[in-house]
């Protein structure tokens, strides 16, 4: 069904397909959360089923864990794995230095823990996620429920001295109730528009009592695999300083991915 996909879904698919080249039998693999990461899990599941790939997956959310089991990937915890060979995940934004904003799906805490416990982090994304400066996408921070309004006020006060364009903060909701993460926490989204010094902001936010973690991933990503709607893939490796391009052809009889949605 890839022939029936929208250009944006084709871009996600080819990025995920190319990223499977970083996975080999015997590896312990961090599995990201979100619509693009779901394509990767499906691709890896196909390789497990059809090519005899044997891996152990460490998911970054309960949603990803359920999908991985559904497609036949052995799922283990990070405590069982201890360390990972590679983590492959999506991103809400990435800049030219491969710094990221993540957490649009609400799994930023597990995503950051898993990514930093890996030899390599590979991000899969479509070209729309590329930005000159981080901040157009709201920056999520995970906060404990106790005193969250006080934490929110402290964050707003802190933002006054930061190099950002906006300082609006909102509690993420799930319908009429606050969104709850897998760890039982809340998420506050920071609408900053532009982040001048992402590293400094990340450090300062994590010093605020009640803040568990923020969605800035600084110096964590090693490679970004960028998909395009025409099947082109661009691979940027920050360590090698290289950029490679290749093209994928779509098979009209492909039906493995037809049931994935955002």
Report whether 34 belongs to an annotated binding site: yes
Report whether 262 belongs to an annotated binding site: no
**Known catalytic residue: 111?**
yes
Predicted pLDDT at 257: 47
pLDDT by position in tens, the chain (length 262): 455 789 999 999 999 999 999 999 999 999 999 999 999 999 999 999 999 999 999 999 999 999 999 999 999 999 999 999 999 999 999 999 999 999 999 999 999 999 999 999 999 999 999 999 999 999 999 999 999 999 999 999 999 999 999 999 999 999 999 999 999 999 999 999 999 999 999 999 999 999 999 999 999 999 999 999 999 999 999 999 999 999 988 654 444 444 443 3
Q: Sign of the C-alpha dihedral, residues 87, 93, 96, 100? A: negative
Nearest residue to 19 via CA among 239, 236, 262: 236
> Catalytic residue among 111, 142, 183, 252, which?
111
- Please name each of the domains of the chain with its CATH number: 2-128+219-247 (3.40.50.1360), 139-214 (3.30.70.260)
CA 1 from chain center: how many Å? 25
* Calpha distance 151→186 (Å, rounded): 11
* Calpha distance 252→262 (Å, rounded): 21
* Calpha distance 143→43 (Å, rounded): 33
Report whether 26 belongs to an annotated binding site: no
Concatenating the DSSP letter of every residue in 9-41 gives HHHHHHHHHHHGGG--TT-EEEE--SHHHHHHH
Concatenating the DSSP letter of every residue in 189-253 gives EEE-S-BS-HHHHHHHHTTSTTEEEESEE-S---EEEEE-TTSEEEEEETTTTEEEEEE-PPPTT
Predicted pLDDT at 250: 64
Report whether 91 belongs to an annotated binding site: yes
């Amino acid at each position: 069904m890839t022939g029936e996909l929208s250009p944006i879904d084709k871009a996600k698919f080819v990025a995920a397909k190319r990223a499977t080249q970083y996975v080999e039998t015997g590896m312990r693999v961090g599995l990201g959360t979100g619509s693009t990461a779901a394509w990767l899990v499906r691709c890896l599941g196909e390789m497990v089923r059809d090519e005899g790939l044997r891996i152990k997956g460490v998911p970054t959310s309960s949603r990803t864990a359920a999908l991985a089991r559904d497609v036949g990937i052995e799922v283990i915890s990070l405590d069982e794995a201890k360390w990972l060979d590679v983590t492959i995940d999506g991103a809400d934004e990435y800049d030219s230095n491969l710094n990221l904003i993540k957490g649009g799906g609400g799994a930023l805490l597990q995503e950051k823990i898993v990514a930093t416990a890996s030899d390599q982090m590979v991000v899969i994304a479509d070209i729309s996620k590329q930005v000159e400066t981080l901040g157009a996408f709201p920056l999520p921070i995970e906060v404990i429920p106790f005193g969250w309004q006080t934490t929110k006020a402290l964050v707003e006060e802190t933002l006054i001295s930061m190099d950002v364009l906006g300082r609006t903060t909102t509690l993420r909701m799930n319908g009429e109730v606050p969104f709850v993460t897998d760890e039982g926490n809340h998420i506050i989204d920071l609408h900053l528009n532009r982040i001048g010094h992402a590293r400094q902001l990340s450090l300062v936010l994590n010093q605020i009592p009640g803040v568990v973690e923020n969605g800035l991933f600084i110096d964590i990503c090693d490679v970004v695999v960028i998909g395009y709607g025409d099947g082109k893939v661009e691979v940027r490796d920050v360590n090698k300083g290289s950029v490679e391009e290749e093209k994928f052809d779509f098979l009209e009889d492909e039906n493995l991915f037809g049931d994935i949605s955002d």
